[in-house]
Amino acid sequence: MHILVTNDDGVSAPGLLALAQAMRTVGEVTVFAPDRNWSVSGHVKTLDRPLRVREVRLADGSPALATDGAPSDCVALALMGLVEEVDLVVSGINPHANLGHDVTYSGTVTAAMEAVITGGVPGIAFSLDSPEDYGGELDYGPAANLARRVVAQVIARGLPKGVLLNVNIPYLEAGDVKGFMVTRQGMRVYRDVLERRLDPRGRPYYWIGGESPTGIAEPGTDFGALAEGYVSITPLQLDLTAYKALEAMKAWDWD
């Protein structure tokens, strides 16, 4: 079992190291991550410039690959031949949750999407639901251990073709996590505010600000699971077709 480990926070992020160390107990690991933070970069394919890859060391001294491309570029490069025979791609551990509509913004989740698109191999995104205002250093230990258990299940059972997993882990002590819950996407509530300011030369610029997003903790959803202290596991697919609308629109008078 050869596992490719990536993330969107950059190759020096502590969540990546924790995930890589956990994956080494499951199989052979190659770490290949962006050389900088690409959080909230969405799904990227870099076609307009060359991509450089260099060998680096993680904080524990183990070798890794880093590129100046995006998280999804890392996965695409690896699966197109830069890394041989990858069976599974895992991404994370992101310090903050990726819930509801976040999945299309998230570099963590879109890296897992790329696994399905380019490699036809399972992709799993891991995110930690740490408080937005958490000041200290995060402890990724319990989350990494839970990630290992999710990966063990996926290896044992396999995933249907084209399916990736978006896994969100509550920021709790290991003994306080209630268990695992398979969920659907919930509803994010964004509270973005457009800030218009003036630069030193009097020209306007715009900044998307506002408070952190919240969500609706409906039972059965990713938000609901986290609110109850469960690890949320949401199977995702890339067919975004709105089938009900498709059927209804066929009846429209198109001619």
Residue partners of 175: CB distance under 8 A and separation at least 6? none
How many whole angstroms from its chain centre is CA 185? 14
Phi, psi of 128 (to 5 degrees): -105, 130
Is 8 one of the binding residues for Mn ion (CB under 5 A)? yes
d(CA 169, CA 199): 40
Contact 231, 177 (CB under 8 A): yes
Least gap, CB of 156 to Mn ion (angstroms)? 29
Closest distance of CB 97 from Mn ion, Å: 11
Find the part of the chain contacting Mn ion (CB under 5 A) among 28-36, 78-86, 92-100, 205-213.
Answer: 92-100
Binding pattern to Mn ion, positions 143-172, x when CB under 5 A?
------------------------------
DSSP summary character for residue 47: -
Residue 41 DSSP label: -
Q: Rule CB under 5 A: say whether 102 interacts with Mn ion.
A: no
Smallest gap from Cβ 95 to Mn ion, in A, equals: 7
Residue 68 CA, distance from chain mean position: 18
Least CB distance to Mn ion at residue 15 (A): 8
Is residue 39 close enough to count as binding Mn ion by CB under 5 A? yes
Stretches 5-13, 162-170, 231-239, 244-252: which one binds Mn ion (CB under 5 A)?
A: 5-13
What is the DSSP track for 182-220? Answer: E-B--EEEEEEEEEEEE-TTS-EEEEEEEEEEEEE--TT
3-state secondary structure of 173: coil
Q: 71 vs 170, which CB is nearer to Mn ion?
A: 71
Pairwise CA distance, residues 228 & 210, whole Å: 27
Identify which range of 49-57, 91-99, 122-130, 238-246 contacts Mn ion by CB under 5 A.
91-99
CB of 149 to Mn ion, least distance (A): 22
> According to CB under 5 A, which one of 67, 94, 118, 127 is a site residue for Mn ion?
94
Binding positions for Mn ion, rule: CB under 5 A: 8-9, 39, 94
